[in-house]
Amino acid sequence: MTATNSSASATGTDEVVLAVDVGGSAVKHAFAAANGASVQVTRTPLDPSARGSDAAAAVVDIVHRALSQAPPSVSCHQIGLVIPGIVDPEGGVGRYSVMLGWRDAPLRDMIERRCGLPVAVGHDVGAAALAEQEWGAARGHSHWLFLALGTGLGTAMMLEGRPYRGHNNWGGELAHVKVEPEGPTCPCGKTGCAETLFSGRGLALRYFERTGHHASVPEILERAESGEAAARQVWDRAVAALVLATTNAADSLNPSCIVVGGGLAAAGEALFAPLRAGLQDLVRFVEPVPELLPAALGADAGSYGAGLLAWRALNDRRSDVS
Ligand SMILES: [Zn+2]
């Protein structure tokens, strides 16, 4: 995010919201103006041993400290919080997160009690997709698919401009779509889920199984491109899994574009070329094929999304009382 001036409030200070993006290993926060620009993104690491209710308490502490350290030039009346896993936005609850180890964490109530400000809660990938649609690569699109390729395989299906959430807030996820019936066992209990193959964690595990060596995704890709057969097979199998999950979703959803973000998007054409080829192969009577676009907001997309949720909640509240 870039520094900018935000709108001035009646008190002469710049009116902002506090945007909070909770990840598996750190919490990012920023004071965000209505136009999506923020004062500064600050990253606070989470103690990896703090899981479940301890992780939730650590998030509340970080939000409280961030507010207490707000610059005197800003006034903040709303918090936007985006979290990973299964999220209940209406209840403000983190239903389940493998990374953070919580179940039914009532984060909105905890933060509102501690900080005295209203909190809007959302799913991190869905909120990042909303931000890409508002300010990033998907401007002008309303039916589209967002791939957040990181340690896990995060996805959002945007239908009529909103993240599709389904019956139990699990809708739009491709991570656990089965792409290899006899594939690797997934922590979810199934076999052959897309995330066991194409994700930072999946690629590293599959490479270790093949070779007995640990390697990062950039190392695996570099080894594949320099001719190492094991790395090539692991990479190609992973990409085939992603292409299959994505094109099946595209055949069902009929998106106008697919936006690819997350750290693994840095693989570039090694990823984009097979995805593009896969999309060329969609059912022929829905031409033109969806555009394939790199995400525009980078690692801060979740923070932009948290800010967007907060501003929408604040504006809704104001229009309700006016
Ligand atoms: Zn699974």
Contact 54, 102 (CB under 8 A): no
Q: Please tell me the distance between residue 189's alpha carbon and the centre of ligand 1 in angstroms.
A: 6
Q: Is the pTM of this model over 0.75?
A: yes
Q: Please tell me the distance between residue 76's alpha carbon and the centre of ligand 1 in angstroms.
A: 40
Q: Give which of 207, 208, 281 is closest to 251, Cα–Cα.
A: 281
Residues in the chain: 322
Instruction: Please report the DSSP string for 135-181 in residue order.
Output: HSTTTT-SSEEEEEESSSEEEEEEETTEE--TTTT-TT--TT-BS-T
Give me the pLDDT at residue 9, please: 52
Q: Please tell me the distance between residue 83's alpha carbon and the centre of ligand 1 in angstroms.
A: 19
Give me the pLDDT at residue 11, please: 57
Q: Please tell me the distance between residue 177's alpha carbon and the centre of ligand 1 in angstroms.
A: 7
Q: Please tell me the distance between residue 188's alpha carbon and the centre of ligand 1 in angstroms.
A: 4
* DSSP state for residue 188 in the 8-state scheme: T
Is residue 267 classed exposed, middle or buried when 0-12, 13-18 and 19+ CB atoms within 10 A define those classes?
middle
Q: What is the pLDDT along the chain (322 residues), one digit of tens a residue?
A: 443 334 555 556 789 999 999 998 899 999 999 887 766 899 999 998 999 999 999 999 999 999 999 988 889 999 999 999 999 999 999 999 988 999 999 999 999 999 999 999 999 999 999 999 999 999 999 999 999 999 899 999 999 999 999 998 889 999 999 999 999 999 889 999 999 999 999 999 999 999 999 999 999 999 999 999 999 999 999 999 999 999 999 999 999 999 999 999 999 999 999 999 998 887 777 678 899 999 999 888 999 999 999 999 999 998 887 6
Q: Please tell me the distance between residue 239's alpha carbon and the centre of ligand 1 in angstroms.
A: 17
Q: What is the side-by-side order of every strand in the sheet holding 86-88?
A: 86-88, 93-96, 103-105
Q: Give which of 251, 243, 255, 248 is closest to 145, Cα–Cα.
A: 255
Give me the pLDDT at residue 3, please: 37
Sign of CA dihedral 71, 75, 79, 82: negative
Residues β-bridged to residue 22: 27
Contact 131, 21 (CB under 8 A): no
Give me the pLDDT at residue 66, please: 97
Residue 114 is encoded by which pair of tokens? Answer: 């501690």
Instruction: Please report the DSSP string for 231-265 in residue order.
Output: HHHHHHHHHHHHHHHHHHHHHHH--SEEEEESGGG
Give me the pLDDT at residue 2, please: 44
Surrounding ion ligand 1 within 5 Å at CB are 176, 186, 188, 190, 193
Report d(CA 266, CA 294) in Å as an integer: 9
In the chain, DSSP assigns E strands to 14-22, 26-32, 42-45, 74-83, 86-88, 93-96, 103-105, 119-123, 144-149, 153-159, 162-163, 257-261, 291-294
